[in-house]
Structure 1
């Protein structure tokens, strides 16, 4: 029998032109995807950069504002209202030098500011252009016992006690009593709190330092100042102090330095005497906090040509670099000074 041979099946493939068109379309698609990925990554990094800046600025205002609100708290005895103000050395650590005295009753200023250029050996890595603010008070929680190296305030509530207060670090010295005048029930002890806020040129300052401007706090603990970082990226800080000139608790004039004669700028209350620096600082009932925060990393294609108003006669900037900046401001009230006046 004659058999018909099988038909050959012709195989078809891509032509060179079709292959080149396919590769070109694939490259265009990959380029678009890569561009989208890079744009998303850059946007996410910028968002993280800005979010970190906002968090640092607001955290600083919250922390410093809360400390200023507690400033001048020296227990519930009411002695602070009639006490003579004192201005201890900024870096004083010994109990006898912290500004407390029982005869006559003397207590340190709750808040005091120091201008740029102040010599302060206890403030490590202090920027020469930084303002300094110190907050003094006692702990809001009574201490159960005396700890080694700490200083405490004990105020008398007993009419038979010969002293109004005792301040020191020695347990046997605290013999004042409560209003029951029972020697077995001593009056409460409150640990002294001294916290100094300032700007440093670095966060991690070992070696040459990381170059990140940082707000730091030096806290008196165990007879020495311990420094810790509060917020990174804080490039500038300016504090303006509200002075109560008529003793009603409300600030009548905001000045950069209450320790000098501000009669020409503060005319709201006639007859106020600016001649005593300690009295002026004692009359501070509010603090306006102005800080300039920058991002931790530069932004590609960004040039900061803006100026920033922190309440000084001259604005800060322009810096003409790649960091983004923002001013944060808040008014903090010295409740323990303003409240009793009201």
Structure 2
């Protein structure tokens, strides 16, 4: 009697339950995998778009300011007093230039690790806060305001008004500008004295001219209508990053290069030249066509093309063909997401 009163499930019922459970579980797993693939693709897309946007912002900000020297603009009196004034780091008379399709060995003075086949961009301009000149200079010094702001300098170097000893500076008014290296900063009676002539034991590159300035020569006099600003040379290029992936890099004033953005696979540049004298670009050319300083002075815009890839592979179901700089790649060899970014940036001091 007790045996008859017991109830349970049969083997058939158990097998049916397991089968239904497996069907339901398969659907759940498929939904999970589909959601995960969608999430990975969307995440890769957002990172690619963010990388492209930031890269364009970095490049555009510097390109717009190329040749900026305070009040001074294009075609005004400019003089570079530095030693090695024609070198890559100190040729401030050429505001913008670059390399096209870098070979296995980049040109001298450029970073040695530039990715072969990509372009490199050099931008020179004044940057940072300006310091006002308080009275006319003499043959050895400029006299500027002491703003009380200090800067992070190399060990043992003094800093006043955000400037450091051995900085490359420009002093300019609305008619002329001079680039020099300051080798001594000191304050006297609340006035900042900026030494403009002596090379100094640690100065590199140093100043080529032993003296300049004074009230006797208006072309060398910088008074209260003038300002002093730090000069910078920035090089943008593509190279392998710390993870091994190609990245956008920046080197400032010959210092240690910084990896800005991972995933920038290629950068190609075209330079808009004004050949008619109306300050409007008439033709866009590659860097290897622009071979003289005068030709670079005609550049009033830069067209930037960036190819950005996702940092993760296998974010797409199939390999993604893409077209960049007029060339189509139908077999990229991976399943990364790629996007092309194009922007034309004008140089403010050279446009109407």
Q: 1:110 corresponds to which residue?
A: 95
Q: 1:30 corresponds to which residue?
A: 25
Farther-moved stretch of structure 1 (290-299 vs 74-83): 74-83
Question: What is the CA distance between 1:9 and its match in structure 2?
Answer: 8.2
Q: 1:255 corresponds to which residue?
A: 285
* Structure 2 unaligned regions, length at least 5: 132-160, 184-193, 198-211
Question: What is the CA distance between 1:136 and its match in structure 2?
Answer: 0.3
Greater Cα radius of gyration, structure 1 or 2: 1
The answer on 1:301 being equivalent to 2:331 is no
The answer on 1:190 being equivalent to 2:196 is no
Q: 1:165 corresponds to which residue?
A: 178
Q: How does 1:276-291 map to 2 (within 5 A)?
A: 277-291=292-306
Relative contact order (C-alpha < 8 Å, sep 6+): which is higher?
Answer: 2
Q: 1:331 corresponds to which residue?
A: 344
Question: What is the CA distance between 1:243 and its match in structure 2?
Answer: 0.5
Question: What is the CA distance between 1:318 and its match in structure 2?
Answer: 4.4
Question: What is the CA distance between 1:165 and its match in structure 2?
Answer: 2.9
| Counterpart secondary structure, 1:127 | coil
The answer on 1:203 being equivalent to 2:262 is no
Please provide the CA RMSD for this pair.
3.4
Deviations 1:97-131 (A, max 9, x none): x13xxxxxxx4211111231332455253223221
Q: Compute the TM-score of the two structures, normalised by the length of structure 2.
A: 0.72
Deviations 1:241-283 (A, max 9, x none): 11101221110111113754xxxxxxxxxxxxxxx72111101
Question: What is the CA distance between 1:185 and its match in structure 2?
Answer: 5.6
CA contact (8 A) 2:99 2:288 kept: no
Farther-moved stretch of structure 1 (277-286 vs 138-147): 138-147
Q: How does 1:75-154 map to 2 (within 5 A)?
A: 75-78=70-73, 81-83=76-78, 88-90=86-88, 92=89, 98-99=90-91, 107-115=92-100, 116-117=102-103, 118-121=106-109, 123=111, 125-143=113-131, 144-154=161-171
Q: 2:269 corresponds to which residue?
A: 239
Q: 1:16 corresponds to which residue?
A: 11
* Structure 1 unaligned regions, length at least 5: 1-5, 93-97, 100-106, 205-209, 261-275
